[in-house]
Copies of this chain bind each other. A is one copy, B any other.
Amino acid sequence: MAEDLYLGIKDLPIVSPHGHCDPGWFATDAPFPNPAELLVVPDHYVFRMLYSQGVPLSELGVGEEGRKKDPRAVFRTFAEHWHLFLGTPSRIWMNHVLNETFGVSEDLSSCTADLIYDEISGKLAQPEFRPRALFDRFGIEVLATTDSALDDLAEHQIVRTSGWGGRVVPTFRPDGVLDGADPEFVQNLDKLAELTGCDLGSYDGYLNALRMRRAHFIQLGCTATDHGIERVQTEWLGDADALYQRLRRREGTEQDARRFYGHMLIEMAQMSVDDGLTMQIHAGSKRNTNHAVMREFGRDKGADIPIAMDWVTGLEALLNRVGNTADLRVILFTLDEGSYARELAPMAGHWPCLRIGPPWWFHDSPAGIARYFDQVVETAGYYNLAGFNDDTRAFLSIPARHDLWRRGVALHLVEQVARGYFGRDSAEHLARLLAVDLAKQAYGLQS
């Protein structure tokens, strides 16, 4: 019956409300480069694992040295270490990409590396493997990218007016203009002033500028904002203006910056009450913990490590200001699974605005999905979940990730039916909800 339930949702359209694809791919529709630059170099799930076993990042095409490497050699290095991925979701996703998308029938290994490299290269030159064609073939109904609040969204504009029917929408990510500890904070404010024409000398002008950017994003189809923060901390400040001025003059302390950001999260939630944008909070990743790798290769290089969370204290101020608003949507993502049953499920099972995001990052995996359902559903139910999102910059892996989720959904629901908690009809209904509809609802993507 798991098979039946899965087959019932396997081919439903893909709704991808949060991820990191490059809108430029769909604006230009240029062919993807070689297999290494497509599948290895940009995928931090892949190169972190090889790095952990002693393969230098430069051998994997990463960084300045890496960019000079022959992509075929990079792909070969990857293939030689393919055994490292046994038991990981990366292996499942990659096999899906190779087999389903590229039609490769050989198993990946050092022996087959060149063969497979050539096979994929050949495919990438064909029109059916251009970004828009793949988007259509994957059955993607809508794809959200993640975009800086300072982005002019020109590529999104191009996609919309291109005549191509694919729905690609931006997501408003304002970290750079909210985080006073960002070294570029002041320059970012200058850009914000320039883009909006607002006077950022006053806190009110700053808020107006943010509202204008949100409105601009909405015009281009945006339905959500996103925040990436280490620790959740919110506080409604009486003196937000004073703190704003201090940070603008680069005179704020780290604690000032943290408090200001925590205040701005509440301002953002209040703007969401007004303009209807769903608010996403991705919290609990300590970024760039490997300083040498950060210096040489930059951010997002596999050294972001989760930390323990305290959502209850962290969101107290925000929730007590706007949390009872029934048409606000705030979606929470955690990397600390200990907070699923302890905090997120009880919170989402009470506050009208809250929804729990799907298993995130390391936990977007078969066992991670099973733990999520096990620990979340009994207290939050299904209707306080936000469905699935793939959260990936690896465009090719999108169908694989949704497929893994849908299999996990089917396995979970079948067990519930087997235990007698509900019948087959309910399971079929919930399967569709979890595969597509809850995500649409949570992100306001129905229309």
Q: What is A's interface to B at a CB cutoff of 8 Å?
A: 48-49, 51-54, 83-89, 91-92, 286, 289-293, 302-308, 310, 312-313, 316, 319-320, 323-324, 326-327, 335-338, 341-343, 345-352, 354, 362-363, 365-368, 371, 374-375, 377-384, 416, 419, 421-422, 426, 430
15 inter-chain pairs at a CB distance below 8 angstroms, sorted by A residue, are: A54-B326, A54-B352, A86-B381, A86-B422, A88-B377, A88-B381, A286-B312, A289-B320, A292-B324, A305-B312, A306-B312, A307-B310, A307-B342, A338-B342, A368-B378
- Chain B residues contacting A302 (CB-CB under 8 Å) are 349-350
Q: How many Å from the CB of A209 to the closest CB on chain B?
A: 31
Q: How many Å from the CB of A296 to the closest CB on chain B?
A: 10
Q: How many Å from the CB of A25 to the closest CB on chain B?
A: 28
Other CB < 8 Å A-B pairs besides A87-B377, A292-B320, A365-B378, 11 of them?
A49-B381, A51-B350, A53-B384, A83-B383, A86-B381, A87-B430, A91-B421, A289-B319, A306-B346, A307-B313, A365-B379
Q: Are A337 and B341 in contact (CB under 8 A)?
A: yes
Oligomeric state, in copies: 3
A107 and chain B: residue at smallest CB distance: B423
- Chain B residues contacting A342 (CB-CB under 8 Å) are 306-308, 335-338
**A290-B350, A306-B346 known; A52 vs B338 contact (CB < 8 Å):** no
Q: How many Å from the CB of A19 to the closest CB on chain B?
A: 20
Contact of A378 among B336, B346, B367 (CB under 8 A): B367
A315 and chain B: residue at smallest CB distance: B289
Q: How many Å from the CB of A222 to the closest CB on chain B?
A: 24
- Chain B residues contacting A374 (CB-CB under 8 Å) are 367, 371
A427 and chain B: residue at smallest CB distance: B86
Q: How many Å from the CB of A369 to the closest CB on chain B?
A: 10
Q: How many Å from the CB of A293 to the closest CB on chain B?
A: 7
Contact of A86 among B91, B350, B375, B426 (CB under 8 A): B426
| Cα of A316 to Cα of B324 in the assembled complex, Å | 39
| Cα of A371 to Cα of B84 in the assembled complex, Å | 21
Interface centre among A89, A337, A349, A352 (most CB of B within 10 A): A349
**A86-B430, A352-B52, A419-B366 known; A343 vs B381 contact (CB < 8 Å):** no
Q: Are B87 and A381 in contact (CB under 8 A)?
A: yes
Contact of A362 among B53, B289, B345, B383 (CB under 8 A): B345
A53 and chain B: residue at smallest CB distance: B383
Q: Are B378 and A422 in contact (CB under 8 A)?
A: no
| Cα of A88 to Cα of B247 in the assembled complex, Å | 47
Q: Are A51 and B362 in contact (CB under 8 A)?
A: no
**A310-B307, A338-B342 known; A350 vs B48 contact (CB < 8 Å):** yes
| Cα of A380 to Cα of B305 in the assembled complex, Å | 12
Q: Are A86 and B382 in contact (CB under 8 A)?
A: yes
A327 and chain B: residue at smallest CB distance: B54
Q: Are A351 and B290 in contact (CB under 8 A)?
A: yes
Q: How many Å from the CB of A44 to the closest CB on chain B?
A: 9
- Chain B residues contacting A305 (CB-CB under 8 Å) are 312, 343, 346-347, 350
Contact of A352 among B53, B291, B312, B422 (CB under 8 A): B53
- Chain B residues contacting A327 (CB-CB under 8 Å) are 54
- Chain B residues contacting A88 (CB-CB under 8 Å) are 377-379, 381
Q: Are A87 and B291 in contact (CB under 8 A)?
A: no
A379 and chain B: residue at smallest CB distance: B362
Q: Are B421 and A87 in contact (CB under 8 A)?
A: yes
- Chain B residues contacting A348 (CB-CB under 8 Å) are 52
A293 and chain B: residue at smallest CB distance: B324
What 6 A-B pairs have minimum CB-CB distances, sorted nearest first? A54-B326, A365-B378, A87-B377, A338-B338, A362-B379, A306-B342
| Cα of A167 to Cα of B440 in the assembled complex, Å | 53
Q: How many Å from the CB of A52 to the closest CB on chain B?
A: 5
- Chain B residues contacting A375 (CB-CB under 8 Å) are 367, 371
